[in-house]
Amino acid sequence: MTEVIERFLRYVKTDTQSDEDSQTHPSTAKQHVLAKLLYDELNEMGASDVFYDEENCYVYAKIPANDGGAQSKTLGFISHMDTSPETSGENVKPRIIDDYDGGDIVLNEEKGIVLKTATYPEIKAYKGQSVIVTDGTTLLGADDKAGVAEIMTMAHHLLTHPEIKHGEIAIAFTPDEEIGAGTDRFDLTRFGADYAYTVDGGGIGELEYETFNAASADISICGVNVHTGEAKNKMINAARIAAEFDSMLPPEQRPEFTEGREGFFHLMNIEGSTEHASLSYLIRDHDRAKFEEKKQTIQRVTDLLDLRYGSGTVTAVVKDTYYNMREKIEPDFMFLIDNAVECMGELGITPIIQPIRGGTDGSSLSFKGLPCPNICTGGHNYHGRYEYCCVQSMEKIVELLVKLTSKPMK
């Protein structure tokens, strides 16, 4: 078994699930377990400037330059340690299927959980290769422990192969990316990179410098409860207004009906009774103008229903989360994309440049002054029990990261 796979299998067995309802940072204390492990391993392999932010759960390190000053810029690599709150990350039981036959995979015979090629046809592309799957009761954690393992393996390889010449390399691992807080307390000065890549993408070849613009919307509805026998012209049913609110948003702009650069309103949660109801939405669009229009739509619906049912009945709190990093990568930092494409070509990897229907830590970091496109990890079906990754892809991505360290930067 290769080093990157050994690391990955070790890391996924540590539960690092983040919690979007938490008021702490990091959102869960268990993320510190993996942070401490990575800190120890970086020290053991001989990395320099290794630092573990014990309060905020970030890990930083450097690989010193060995090219005699030929490269004056510092290149960084970043992955996140947490896994999605959407599916349990506790007691992950990874399994390697060697020489995958291209058919359905029974993840859990007892529970009847099957990864079906009819639903996930992309997996058939890995016929004859090795894939890592779960037992169907948890997510796998390739998002983003595959990236963590790949960066750690790259670091160890560079430190043990001084014949590979490179400038200074910065490394960082972040918490809480899955709940949009990965860079809230990221120390750019300590990280010390001029440019960076997040290693947080999907299948091999994916290369992204365009993300959604993102916001959240929390709707609160105050109703009036009166005995149903006397309710006429008195009752204001908050639960029904909540349903009315959702029906007034464009139905074609839901995630299940959109693709590519099409944005959406995603109803994350709805709760309600006669007296009070609430709705939580994600708002997404790659186009900044359309993004702003979606936020205005939320406010218009709020204002209309508040007017209809009485002042103070319906209120909305809309908060921006991150923006499309494309406007920060173009035009001055496209050499980061060009370098990645060139390295992929040298390794026989077909580049797949496409917008992310999501976001990464790189979205926020790019707007904080650190240009930061996103590179693949080799995983698929993130955030759920059908998550899997390809062994050969992960091994090839380590080679890609190593090659990138030697490419010239402006």
Q: Is 383 annotated as a binding residue?
A: yes
Measured CA to CA, the distance from residue 24 to residue 28 in angstroms comes to 7
Q: From the candidates 15, 41, 135, 177, which is the catalytic residue?
A: 177
pLDDT of 331 > 90? The answer is no
Q: From the candidates 82, 135, 168, 208, which is the catalytic residue?
A: 82
pTM: 0.90
Length of the chain: 410
Position 408 scores a pLDDT of 86
Position 247 scores a pLDDT of 98
As given in the structure block, the two tokens for residue 87 are 């599916």
Q: Is 178 annotated as a binding residue?
A: yes
Report the relative pairing of strands 352-353 and 206-208 from DSSP bridges: parallel
Task: Calculate the average pLDDT of the chain.
Answer: 96
Kindly report, residue by residue over 67-119, the tens digit of the pLDDT. Answer: 988 899 999 999 999 999 999 999 999 999 999 999 999 999 999 999 999 99
Q: What is the mean pLDDT of residues 176-203?
A: 95
Q: Is 55 annotated as a binding residue?
A: no
Q: Is there a catalytic annotation at residue 177?
A: yes
| Domains along the sequence of the chain with CATH | 3-211+324-404 (3.40.630.10), 213-322 (3.30.70.360)
Q: Is there a catalytic annotation at residue 306?
A: no
As given in the structure block, the two tokens for residue 106 are 């029974």
Q: Is 86 annotated as a binding residue?
A: no
Position 242 scores a pLDDT of 98
